[in-house]
Each structure stands twice: as C-alpha cells, then as structure tokens.
Amino acid sequence: MFTIRCILGSAWRHGIKLQNRMSTVPHSVAAVCQVTATPDKETNFCACKQLMEDAKEQGASMVFLPEGFDYIGSSREETLSLSETLTGDTISRYTQLARKLEVWLSLGGFHERGHDWETDRRIYNSHIIINDKGDIVSVYRKSHLFDVELPEKGVSLKESAFTIPGPSLVSPVQTPIGKVGLGICYDLRFPDLSQALQRHGAEILTYPSAFTVATGAAHWEVLLRARAIETQCYVVAAAQVGRHHEKRSSYGHALAVDPWGEVLGDCGGEKPGMVLVEIDLDKVSSTRRNMPVQQHRRDTGFYQSLEKT
C-alpha cells in the first residue's frame, strides 16, 4: 500500500509519479483533497479543478472534495445568496468535468437551495456523488447540524439558522473503489450513523469537513480513527484548511485511515493539496474476519435494555 502527501506544485506532482510507478499492486486509488474555499466561487472551482486534473493524472479513480468546496460565505446573507440548486451552474460544471476526466466525484458539502426556497430561504448541506459519466448517483443531506458555542475557544456557529436538516441517511454507493457510505463533518461525532452505514454494506466511510481549528486540534484525528476502528472500514475525510475570510479558519489535515485505524495519509494543517491512497478491500475483509466485531454484537433489544429498567 502507498500513501503520498501532495502539496500543489510541479515538484510534488513529479514526486507522486515516481512513487506511483513503484507500486505494482492493482488496487483502486482515491484522491483525498484539501482546499481553502472563500466566497469567490470561480476561484474555488479553479482550485478544485486543478486538484481533480492532478488526481486523474496520477491514476485516481475517485476524487473527494470537502464540505464547502463551492464556497464559504462570510455571513448568513452571503451564504444564502450564493447558494444554488442541483441543476445550477456549479454542479453542472462538476458533472461535465467528471465526464471529461472520467473520474468519480464526492462533492462533500454543497450549499443546495431548499425545495421551498421561494417561501423558506434556507438551504441543505448536501453531499453529492457523481459518476465518471457525469451522472448524479446519490445525494445525502447533512442530518446533524453544527450549533456550538465555545466562547473560551472562540467558536460560535449556528448552522441551523440557515440550514435544513436532512430527512434520512442514504444507502452506501457502489463506486470503483468500493461501497462508500456518506456523512458530512459534524456527522462524524455520531457513531450510530457510521454503524448504520456499515450494516448496509459500507466498506469506506467519508466525512468531508470544515472543522474549526479548535475542535480539529482536539478531536479530528481521534474521531476519524475511532469510526474506522469500530466499523472496520476505510475512512477518508477531505478537509478545508486555512483562512477563508476574516471571520473563519479551518483546521485542515485531510486524512485517510485504514480499517485497523492506521493513518495512511495526512495533508497537514497549512496548505491546499491532496493525498493519494490505495484502497485494498481485501484489508476490509481480513480485518473483519480476524476480529469479527459485528458478529459479536448483541441484538438491538440488548442495548436498549437499560432504558426499560
């Protein structure tokens, strides 16, 4: 298995080529990306497009972009005004790019206008999977919204002020790298979600995120590794990094973790870039076979027995 850290730049891209040639294992390659989105949608698209092109050049069959890949607004009003529908220009450009490059895409947190936009000016935080033909094959709308006040850490965010919680989970999606279960950012803190996706066949969990610096430093890696260990899935987490505008910065450290909980790649906390990871589904099978945790689970009623006493 290989993992490569890539910071944008020709020298780093050349380094990936050399390492990629050294690998003879025919596993699928995922590109886990890290970006610094701003309110400038065109600049954001160009940066993501470059990452996608680099990933394709290095043999990736699926590219993961983080929450807020389209933009991160500086106010509630700006966030809402920049939002679009799934049929708008932004997603159309990504479907065309996926088709052109023949790669699958995980668009990890799109500002999607709600279905009653004309009367209810709120949005969904939507995770969109696009196949290599440019078709939208799945949309998951974030179900756990980040409403947190940590004055001592300088954290104050109320996502529910302008975001509609998603109505349900969606089934894992069969992709070239395996069955991918979809979450978004704050969903990472709810193990019931990851367990449900694993029970429905997920081999890879993905949590595209824009973690704050304070919560990221405290909890990001440990939560991602915990989700991998307890579900015995790969976990890939594209991330936002750096300063988006004067009011907001993100932690970075886009991460890939294997089913044993080992960190395979980390993009660091400073600059945009990506990590390429080979996904070996035999490792999922062998980990689950050697430590059959799911077989040892008791029935649902057992875990609810305390509530009856």
CATH code of residue 85: 3.60.110.10
Give how far Cα 257 sits from Cα of 46, 98, 225, 252, 261, Å.
28, 25, 6, 15, 6
The total of structural domains in the chain comes to 1
Q: Is 6 a residue of the active site?
A: no
**Low-confidence residues of the chain: pLDDT under 50:** 1-25
DSSP conformational letter for 176: T
Give how far Cα 103 sits from Cα of 25, 128, 203, Å.
20, 14, 19
Q: Is 67 a residue of the active site?
A: yes
- Active-site position among 33, 185, 233, 267: 185
- Active-site position among 56, 67, 233, 267: 67
In whole angstroms, what is the distance from residue 164 CA to residue 114 CA? 7
- Active-site position among 6, 56, 142, 278: 142
Identify the domain containing residue 40 by its residue range. 3-308
Q: Which H or E run includes 3?
A: strand 3-7
